Amino acid sequence: MFVLLIVSLLFAAAPASESGATRINQIFVQLKAPKPKVAVQQFKLKEVDLNEFVAVALKDKQRLGVKKIVLDLQESGGLRAEATINMDDVKIDMPGIGLFKTLLSGTQVLKAEGRFICKERKAHYELDKASINDVWVPAWLAEAVVAMVGKTQPPHVDITEEFDLPYGITGVTTHVDRVEITR
């Protein structure tokens, strides 16, 4: 779910105060620069550095409704994420939402588990299961929260829908402890 972070926070923020955050920042500086004339470039982003980067990014530039995010990388594109979100800041207007009014107000902990699917320079996040405060919620509800958070802040990407990978990135692969980016 919170490849939203790998996408939304990582591509839109630029913290530089912590060692892990600095390492991630250096990789993004390289990604933003024109690609050298080498055939393939590979970048490895450690899970611990990504989580530090996200924490610093949230502290440096507050995101609408998002208080905290922790990523847990898995093999084969798997990604678990836990986000503390002030649902009062994330206005979701769609049929069926009224049934979940209690879960969609105040500060809640959203846990999501799914896969980051990357193919032909495009990507999206496919949600497998989700919960709010350890109460199972339908995937469509969690996707609505993720979509709204992603659409309301830079770079305004809904990761539940297919999007173009930026910076000439051709592939993203997750492992238990790292993300590998290819361009």
Please state the domain extents for the chain. Answer: 3-182
Q: Are 7 and 120 in contact (CB under 8 A)?
A: no
Q: What is the pLDDT of residues 40-99, one digit of tens each?
A: 999 999 999 999 998 988 888 766 678 899 999 998 889 999 999 887 877 666 666 666
Please tell me the pTM assigned to this model.
0.78
pLDDT confidence of 100, banded at 50, 70, 90? low
